[in-house]
Every structure is written in structure tokens, then in C-alpha cells.
């Protein structure tokens, strides 16, 4: 399974855009890139997933360069409620084949200040 | 159905006792996962069910751990002869058989926090 590397922690202020970059140098051809968010005493929550280029949903954008060896989660105009741990994961091919379980790293602790 | 539920939310036990946790996945999700999370770390995979079949087990799942999903709906995770090192958050997640967009989207429960004294 591809290993991911992301910053241990980041600080930001309300209203700013936050970009969290994840390195995954040995990502496989059929691996997807997925980000999860986790608040204290809760289970992780899916944020966004992509394979290449750019993906955007109502809460975040995911930028993936052509070589796919890294990805950047972008959170626009963060608020205090975005304070959480963010995990970057790779793997899990579509369909019913392949390993289904998720492999989490240590994540990035984002602290949003007022 | 509002999501994955887990019971109990907290469990304190003495070393050597047995404990059992329950997970109720989202209805019609036939995939169910157990993870363990210690402070400051991301969740670690323990085991995976598709319907009632246990298809994958992690090396973390020692002989003292057993999981079941007898009717392909709820699941139980039992830890026998608990040790202090078993203290952690035990998370359950579920996912549907086929996901149209997100192959890695799993829906997590709130977890059961186990403290072994």
C-alpha cells in the first residue's frame, strides 16, 4: 500500500484558505486519493476523493498534479469548526476487487484561530 | 437510519476481563470494518466483513480478539483477557457493495472508547 506523508500540524485564522499537501511517491496506477476529516471523539468523515487533476465539492477542492505523487486539499475560508485532523489516504480501486480497508497515517492537525 | 451506531460509547474494565462491543452499520451496507485508534494516531484496520463473511484480518487482531457478523447486519467485537495495551478507541465503519463515485468512502460510527485498568 502506498505510504503518505503530510505535515503534522498547521495553524490558520478564520476566513483564510488552507492548503494541506500530502506526498505519496509510490502511488499505484489504480489508486485513488481520498481525504478524511476527524473531530475529537468522533469517527473520521469522508471529505473528497480524486484520481487526477482537480476535484471540487461543496466543502473542499483536491488538486492532483499529473505525476500523482502528491495532492493538495484546499479548504476555502476556514472557520473555527474546521479545526480537526485531516487524513490523506491512497488506495482502494473502484469495483469489487482489491483491498477494501483504509490505511490511515497520523494526519495533519489543523488549528483555526479566531 | 441516521448512520453507524456503536454501543457502548465508553467501557472501563479491569485487566483480564472480557469485553464485547456492538456495531450497527447503515442499513443495506453489506461491508463492515473494525478499526482501532490510539491517542495521536490514525485509525488502524482490524478486520473486514462482506455480509457475514470475514474476508480480511489484520495482524493486529491477536487470538484474544474475535469479531462476528452472524446475519450480515450488526457485528460484535470481543476482546478476551483484556490488557492495558488494548486501551483505545474502537471504530466501526460500513460501506455499500457498490459505490458509484467514491470507492474509498466509508461511514464511521462514533466509536467505543475502551479503558483497561
Q: How confident is the model at residue B2 (pLDDT cuts 50, 70, 90)?
A: confident
Q: What is the mean pLDDT of residues B17-41?
A: 94
Which stretches of chain A score pLDDT less than 70?
1-2, 92-100
Q: What's the grid cell of residue A67?
A: 505525476
CA nearest neighbour of B3 among A102, A83, A94, A43: A43
Distance (Å, whole) CA A104 – CA A29: 19
B104–A44: do the CB atoms touch at under 8 Å? no
**Least CB–CB distance from A45: residue in B33, B95, B108:** B108
Distance (Å, whole) CA B98 – CA B70: 22
pLDDT of residue B99: 53
φ, ψ at A81 (rounded to 5°): -70, -5
Q: How far is CA A42 from CA A2, A100, B37, in A?
A: 25, 21, 11
Greatest Cα pair distance in chain B: 45
CA nearest neighbour of B46 among A45, A101, A104: A101
* pLDDT > 70? residue B98: no
* pLDDT > 50? residue B101: no
A92 touches chain B (CB under 8 A): yes
Between B65 and B105, the higher pLDDT residue: B65
pLDDT of residue A64: 96
A6 touches chain B (CB under 8 A): no
Q: What is the pLDDT of residues A66-85, one digit of tens each?
A: 999 999 999 999 999 999 99
Q: What is the mean pLDDT of residues B44-72?
A: 91
- Å between A102 CA and nearest CA of chain B: 7
High-pLDDT (> 70) share of chain A, %:
90
A104–B109: do the CB atoms touch at under 8 Å? no
Task: Report chain B residues whose CB lies below 8 A from the CB of A84.
Answer: none
Q: How far is CA B22 from CA A100, B78, B91, in A?
A: 21, 9, 10
Amino acid at each position: 500500500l502506498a505510504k503518505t506523508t503530510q505535515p503534522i500540524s498547521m495553524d490558520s485564522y478564520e476566513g483564510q484558505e488552507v492548503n494541506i499537501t500530502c506526498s505519496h511517491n509510490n502511488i499505484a496506477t489504480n489508486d485513488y486519493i481520498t481525504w478524511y476529516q476527524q473531530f475529537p471523539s468522533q469517527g473520521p468523515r469522508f471529505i473528497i476523493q480524486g484520481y487526477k487533476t482537480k476535484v471540487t465539492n461543496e466543502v473542499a477542492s483536491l488538486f492532483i498534479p499529473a505525476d500523482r505523487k502528491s495532492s493538495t486539499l484546499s479548504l476555502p475560508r476556514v472557520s473555527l469548526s474546521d479545526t480537526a485532523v485531516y487524513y490523506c489516504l491512497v488506495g482502494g480501486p473502484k469495483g469489487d476487487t482489491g483491498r477494501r480497508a483504509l490505511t490511515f497515517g497520523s494526519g495533519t492537525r489543523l488549528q483555526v484561530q479566531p | 437510519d441516521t448512520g453507524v451506531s456503536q454501543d457502548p460509547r465508553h467501557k472501563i474494565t479491569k485487566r483480564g476481563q472480557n469485553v464485547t462491543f456492538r456495531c450497527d452499520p447503515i442499513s443495506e451496507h453489506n461491508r463492515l470494518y473494525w478499526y482501532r485508534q490510539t491517542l495521536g494516531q490514525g485509525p488502524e484496520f482490524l478486520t473486514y466483513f462482506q455480509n457475514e463473511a470475514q474476508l480480511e484480518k489484520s495482524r493486529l487482531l491477536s487470538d484474544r480478539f474475535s469479531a462476528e457478523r452472524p446475519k450480515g447486519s450488526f457485528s460484535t467485537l470481543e476482546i478476551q483477557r483484556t490488557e492495558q495495551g488494548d486501551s483505545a478507541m474502537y471504530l466501526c465503519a460500513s460501506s455499500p457493495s457498490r459505490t458509484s463515485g467514491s470507492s474509498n468512502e466509508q461511514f464511521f460510527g462514533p466509536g467505543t472508547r475502551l479503558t483497561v485498568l
